[in-house]
Amino acid sequence: MSAAELDLSQPAIVVEDLRRSFGALKAVDGVSFSINHGSVVGFVGANGAGKTTTMRILATLDHPSSGIAKVGGHNVVHYPAKVRRLLGWMPDSFGTYEHMTVLEYLDFYARALGYKGAERVQRIQEVMDFTDLTPLADRLSNKMSKGQTQRLCLGRALLHDPQILIMDEPAAGLDPKARVELKRLIRILADEGKTILISSHILSELGEMCDTLLFIDKGRIVHHGDAESMTRTSATPETLVNVQISGEPAKLIEWALTAPLVKVVDETKRGARLRIESTDEAVLAGTLKRMIIDGLLVTDFHREERRLEDAFIDMLGQIDKGSFKGETAGNVTPQIPPPLPPQ
Ligand code: ATP
């Protein structure tokens, strides 16, 4: 029922200069981005950065103070009913009803969506099969684990087979097994061609799962690109090395504090991850040589990929200092298509 309303000539999601203030607080402060059909996009930012506020506006649950948001080609403020037909919304927390089983819960929402008779029964069964809830059909919906509850929430969001899914922190609080399972379901939905915008704090997982990452900081988009481009966004050439020594790791930290071009990224159990401000192999070899000459008993020294978390924290530091050289809100703008004709 949703595909008919989807305007494929326009991006799946378009946000232009979106703003939302709560009193003096600018929760969303001029956010612009566009998401193509079939993309899986991670929405990343610190607590309070403006992710939920942006997503709630896209889900027609809140109005922007100014700016434009379109889902499936429809303005979320002017055509909320059309948007809701196209969109599956998975909030970061949701209520279940006491004394209502999983089946009754899904049946309630399927009826609210207008499904009738055999079609309703079939749709509920499809959703329960997909989310592996069939064995739990008779379980009281408020008596389930966090992972099972999240699957029910996803099932509810999928009942009307939406083409576009917005998921706010779906992996929060899930154990590793439940996270893997959720990731698998998201991958299947992506392979079906659905467009997915998903927020999370678990950057490494988002990097694996998403085609692009959208970074938001203090209500502004600071980067939109793939995970690789994110990890390349560094102000200076650098190499990360993981070093292990025999003996107290503190010795290595102490050594790093005075060594030229070397900074400690974090301590590990047997040593530290170090940032060497060079990509020159002679410098790397020279650093290892100096460690040994200075008496450190080095048992392991290997290069590491820059982690998304490091890149993000680094980028925020650069923004604060005004030295950020990556994609800022300004140069994300070219990804926005030209103004669209009124609907
Ligand atoms: P988190 O990762 O913690 O969920 P977030 O990036 O989703 O954070 P938002 O929930 O969008 O951030 O909040 C952005 C800012 O707006 C925060 O400072 C928050 O306190 C504020 N805010 C959000 N909703 C409201 C509201 N209804 N009234 C007042 N302030 C609000």
Pairing of strands 87-90, 164-168: parallel
Check pLDDT > 70 for residue 323: no
The CA-atom distances, in angstroms, between 156 and each of 79, 103, 173, 178, 264 are 22, 11, 19, 18, 46
- What is the pLDDT at residue 23? 93
Q: How far apart are CA 172 and CA 140, in angstroms?
A: 22
Residue having the nearest C-alpha atom to atom 21 of ligand 1: 27
C-alpha 176 to ligand 1 mean position (Å): 27
* The overall pTM is greater than 0.85: no
What pLDDT does 121 receive?
Answer: 96
- Averaged over 310-333, what is the pLDDT? 59
Q: Whose CA is nearest to atom 22 of ligand 1?
A: 27
Q: How far is the centre of ligand 1, averaged over its atoms, from the C-alpha of 22 (Å)? A: 9
Nearest to 53 by CA among 85, 21, 79: 21
Residue with the smallest CA separation from ligand 1 atom 27 is: 22
**pLDDT, tens digit, 9 for 90 and up, residues 132-180:** 999 999 999 888 888 899 999 999 999 999 999 999 999 888 888 888 8
pLDDT, tens digit, 9 for 90 and up, residues 101-119: 999 999 999 999 999 999 9
- Residue 25 and residue 197 in contact, taking contact as beta carbons nearer than 8 Å: no
What is the number of the ligand 1 atom nearest to the C-alpha of 50?
A: 11
Atom of ligand 1 nearest to the CA of 49: 6
- In this prediction, residue 329 has a pLDDT band, given cuts at 50, 70 and 90, of very low
Q: Residue 13 pLDDT > 60, yes or no?
A: yes
Would you say how long the chain is, in residues?
343
| Ligand 1 atom closest to Cα of residue 55 | 11
Tokens (6 digits) for 105: 């819960």
28 compared with 5, residue with greater pLDDT: 28
Nearest ligand 1 atom to the CA of 52 is: 7
For ligand 1, residues with CB inside 6 Å are: 22, 25, 27, 45, 47-53
Residue 189 has pLDDT above 70, yes or no: yes
For 188, 248, 318, the CA distances from 161, given in Å and listed in that order, are 13, 57, 42
Confidence band of 325 (pLDDT split at 50, 70, 90)? low
Q: Give the C-alpha separation, 234 to 160, whole Å.
A: 43
pLDDT for res 112: 93
Q: What is the pLDDT of residue 296?
A: 95
Flag whether pLDDT at 240 surpasses 70.
Answer: yes
- Alpha-carbon Rg for the chain, nearest whole angstrom, is 24
Q: Is the pLDDT of residue 48 over 80?
A: yes
Residue in 53, 197, 221 to alter for ligand 1 test, most ligand atoms within 8 A of Cβ: 53
Report CA(25)–ligand 1 centroid distance (Å): 10
| Residue whose CA lies nearest to ligand 1 atom number 19 | 48
Distances (CA, A) of 220 to 39, 58, 248: 21, 16, 43
Q: How far is the CA of 50 from the centre of ligand 1 (A)?
A: 6
pLDDT at 316: 74
